[in-house]
Amino acid sequence: MPTFYDTQVASPMMLGTAQYPSPAILAAAFSASGAGIATVSLRREAGGGQDFLRLIEGLGVALLPNTAGCHTVKEAVTTAQMARELLGTAWIKLEVISHGDLLAPDVFALVEAARELCAQGFKVFPYCTEDLSVCDQLLRAGCEVLMPWGAPIGSGLGLNNLLGLKALRAAFPEVPMVIDAGIGRPSHAAAAMELGFDAVLLNTAVAKAGDPVTMARAMAQALDAGRAAYMSDPIEPREMATPSTPVIGKAFLQ
């Protein structure tokens, strides 16, 4: 099971709490997924008030508030401070967005905000790109987890830059890493785990599916399969065929 900031969680799935058809379906999807962490947007979910807070606290999983919708360092830091006061956790998924259409991270503001929040005692989970230099700066700022995107948030495109993600995983082998954003299908989730990532963060792929509960269960199964495949040391791909049936000792008839 993955470990973040010395805390072991029960599942490699982090599941978001936005966009579900109803609170009952949200709760059922979490139950089906076995998710170990629920991500909560303070800005998007605050409208639900105490009823929403009781709902997510009743899920029985660790809470990871996030700074979704923040575009500046000041916004992100202030939102994180509010989240810590409201939810009683130092964990924060740090988002600082630069591009409205792609919801891409503003990597310069992200590093600055991460440095400030780490200095304030937050345990920061930064939503970032797969850029090695950016990730190195985030680790130097005090982050102990990296959350590179697979593709733009809510796009369902999967893992857009396999080479970059492989290079990032290889560059920091001891750092817990989560693929955050872009996962649309169970096959995408399995592929992330096969690369050696520790967890996957999902929201739209489950919440907006025709049957969120069944999709949540499928994602959980895919994560388990992907992790098992990674741990089994799979064969490397090659361009030429390799016979699975040995030919040594076999008679050749002319």
Listing DSSP states for 173-192 in one string gives: TTS-BEEES---SHHHHHHH
Q: Which of 93, 123, 208, 250 is an active site residue?
A: 93
d(CA 191, CA 253): 44
Angle, alpha carbons 215-152-217 (nearest 5°) = 10
Residue 250: active-site member: no
CA dihedral 96, 1, 158, 149 (to 10 degrees): 20
d(CA 122, CA 91): 6
21: tokens are: 């058809």
Contact 54, 86 (CB under 8 A): no
Helix (H, G, I), strand (E, B) or coil at 69: coil
Contact 213, 32 (CB under 8 A): yes
**Location of structure tokens 């606290």:** 57
Helix (H, G, I), strand (E, B) or coil at 17: coil
The set of catalytic residues is 93
